[in-house]
Structure 1
Amino acid sequence: MTEQGTAHEPKHKQDLTRRKVVAVGAGAVVAVGVGGTVATGAFAGDTGAADATATASSSAGACYKLTSETVEGPYYIDADKIRQDITEDQEGIPLTLTLKVIDADTCKPVRNAAVDVWHCTALGVYSGYESVGNGGGGGAPSGAPTDAPSGTPTDVPSGTPTGEPPSGGPGGGGGGHVEPTDDERYLRGTWKTDKHGTVTFTSVFPGWYQGRCVHIHVKVHVDGAWTDAGYEGGHTCHTGQLFFAEEAVLRTEDVAPYSANAVTRTTLTEDTIYPQNGAEGGLLTLKYNKNRISKGVRAALTLGVTPDETHEG
């Protein structure tokens, strides 16, 4: 495709390296994405997998930008469910999440990586930790404690406010890992990236809990092996969180079961984990009908990672 135009081009333009050509191409895709994937647009119910992949590619900007590393949070359960549909019996607005994983240095897709995602319910509860509740607001299990889990560190990573985290919240931010308190595993899953570096999950739009904005946790594992038992070995090259634009979240507040969540919601700009740097920091590109968000949301993002590095969060 590029060879056809070289005969009439100046010599200095013919000498573009492949890497520069890829960068120019990525910029062109971004320009399309900016004009066509705004959250207030109509829900693209008839778009196919190719469109979803293109949306994911457009949302990260130049492929050289690394996606921000963030904390793992206390409620990660390692590769427990190998599946794409993580909904189980949870109620909420249907969510299709498409992630494309690329090497931030070469722009090439990262194939056969294991991508973990996990998030809370519409009422702010994490599976495996139901007894923790969501900070005392709507949807917390009966009798759920209103204080932080026993043994949870009271300090947080450098650069965020010091002191105790908000009372009662699962605290998907700082602190060490907390052992699961039950066997539930809804809204958690791991799946393999395809030859394009793409993976898609089906879930529900996350809710919120005390002290955090609406988000999804994500990890990318590479250099391991896929076996009958799942994914084994390798290392974690990215640990991050995915975030939702305020406009979309506001539209969920009047939709059941989100409307029953009585916890005061932390906004995107108030959140101490979100880096406030757009797609590079994990801000998803969203597609939905602004008047009927209950029909579903499509979310996409390109994750720029460094496969040779380890980032456990």
Structure 2
Amino acid sequence: MTEKSDTHPEKPQGPAHKRDLTRRKVVLATGAAVAAVGVGGAVAASASAEGTSAAGTDATASDASSDASSAESCYRLTGETTEGPYYIDADKIRKDITEDREGIPFTLRLKVIDSDTCKPLKRAAVDIWHCDALGIYSGYESMSGGGGGTPPTGTPPTDAPTGTPTGTPPSGGPGGPGGGGGHQEPTDDERYLRGTQLTDKHGYVEFKTVFPGWYQGRAVHIHTKVHVDGKLTDTGYEGGHACHTGQFFFAETAVLASADVTPYSTSTTTRTTLDEDTIYGGGGTQDGLLKLKYRKGHIEKGVIGSITMGVDPDETRDGT
């Protein structure tokens, strides 16, 4: 896909007071419904926290405060971020992107809504891509990971972070993949932990994958793009434009819990916390902080992450 970048990270508020009042009326009228239909608690205004498992087991509290009320956040734009150097066009339409990667089972439930109308966007193409448990990106195995593409081994991180923030987004290449920097051409044919799906009539998609690991210079994260106005072909999703480019983030409590589980526990790569990350905006769910659910003390059994993304389908935001 050939897209042009939008240099304005936020869409201006409504052009007139009348429009703003109209939007607020829509929100007030639909706020309860929006809260009710969120899959797995995936409402943009819900607290960005680890909740409870399906069995009701208590999990840890969030490391970040919740957003504003659902009435206010319904029409907020989800924060835009850089695409990063390791994006590959949507060429694998699939739900399960795990392939042969080891790690904690992770289910990602997403809802995409129009930030103006609060209505779900149907048949929008949602891409996600992320590194494996040891920081390796498919398609770029020789460039990613702990600094040179070789999975590191050794002592897991503690609650005292070993990563030191640089103050600027990390560039592509060894030591800082997936953050800033220009696009890099793939170095191999692997495509694990990458996939695309079309939203259903309610704006939902769900992916099966593994809990991401970490690498030098970045907190644990997942990349995403939302495309509209294209079409599904035999080779993937073609045409249209990206109306959102962002990243999803994970609370520190969940990352530390994952560090006790193999293969995450074998990594000696320096780790950057959420607060230190130079890409995460600090705005909770509006900046991509996932709501997480897992059994306390048994994260290895699996994690569910959910969030609602508010996007403007008329804008082009490709993150480059």
**Do both share a fold (TM > 0.5)?**
yes
Deviation of the 1:294 alpha carbon: 0.1
TM-score, normalised on structure 2?
0.76
Partner of 2:91: 80
TM-score, normalised on structure 1?
0.78
Deviation of the 1:18 alpha carbon: 4.1
Partner of 1:212: 218
- Residues 60, 279 of structure 1: 8 Å contact kept: no
Aligned-partner Cα distance in 1 for 2:120–2:79: 18
Aligned-partner Cα distance in 2 for 1:172–1:138: 13
Partner of 2:21: none
Q: 1:261 to 1:61 in 2, by over 3 A?
A: farther
Q: 1:100 to 1:60 in 2, by over 3 A?
A: farther
Matching residue's letter, 1:72 = E
1:132 aligns with 2:112: no
After superposition, residues 9-20 of structure 1 pair within 5 angstroms as 17-20=25-28
Partner SS state of residue 20, structure 1: helix
1:261 aligns with 2:242: no
Matching residue's letter, 1:220 = V
1:196 aligns with 2:202: yes
Matching residue's letter, 2:135 = G
Partner of 2:291: 285
Deviation of the 1:22 alpha carbon: 1.4
Q: 1:40 to 1:247 in 2, by over 3 A?
A: farther
Matching residue's letter, 1:175 = G
Partner SS state of residue 314, structure 2: coil
Partner SS state of residue 248, structure 1: helix
Match of 1:224 among 230, 233, 243: 230
Q: 1:164 to 1:282 in 2, by over 3 A?
A: closer
Match of 2:256 among 250, 258, 266: 250
1:120 aligns with 2:126: no
Aligned-partner Cα distance in 1 for 2:232–2:218: 34
Partner of 1:238: 244
Aligned-partner Cα distance in 2 for 1:87–1:60: 36
Aligned-partner Cα distance in 2 for 1:59–1:297: 24
Aligned-partner Cα distance in 1 for 2:81–2:50: 24
Matching residue's letter, 2:211 = F
- Residues 91, 237 of structure 2: 8 Å contact kept: no
- Residues 60, 280 of structure 1: 8 Å contact kept: no
Q: 1:119 to 1:36 in 2, by over 3 A?
A: closer
- Residues 218, 240 of structure 1: 8 Å contact kept: yes
Which of these two proteins has the greater Rg computed from alpha carbons? Answer: 1
Partner SS state of residue 265, structure 2: helix
1:21 aligns with 2:29: yes
- Residues 124, 139 of structure 1: 8 Å contact kept: no
Partner of 1:44: 54
- Residues 193, 199 of structure 1: 8 Å contact kept: yes
1:275 aligns with 2:281: yes
Aligned length: 268
Aligned-partner Cα distance in 1 for 2:26–2:194: 38
Partner SS state of residue 130, structure 1: coil
Q: 1:170 to 1:288 in 2, by over 3 A?
A: same
Alpha-carbon deviations, 1:254-305, whole Å to 9, x = none? Answer: 1000001111110000000000000000000001001100000000000000
Deviation of the 1:161 alpha carbon: 3.1
Q: 1:255 to 1:114 in 2, by over 3 A?
A: same
Partner SS state of residue 279, structure 1: helix
Aligned-partner Cα distance in 2 for 1:17–1:267: 39
Moved more, 162-171 or 19-28: 162-171
- Residues 131, 141 of structure 1: 8 Å contact kept: no
Partner SS state of residue 255, structure 2: helix
Aligned-partner Cα distance in 2 for 1:285–1:261: 25
Partner SS state of residue 302, structure 1: strand
Matching residue's letter, 1:276 = G
Moved more, 127-136 or 103-112: 127-136
Structure 1's unaligned 5+ residue stretches are 1-15, 47-57, 143-159
Q: 1:190 to 1:257 in 2, by over 3 A?
A: same
- Residues 135, 167 of structure 1: 8 Å contact kept: no
Q: 1:137 to 1:128 in 2, by over 3 A?
A: closer
Q: 1:170 to 1:248 in 2, by over 3 A?
A: same
Partner SS state of residue 249, structure 1: helix
Deviation of the 1:165 alpha carbon: 4.8
Deviation of the 1:229 alpha carbon: 2.9
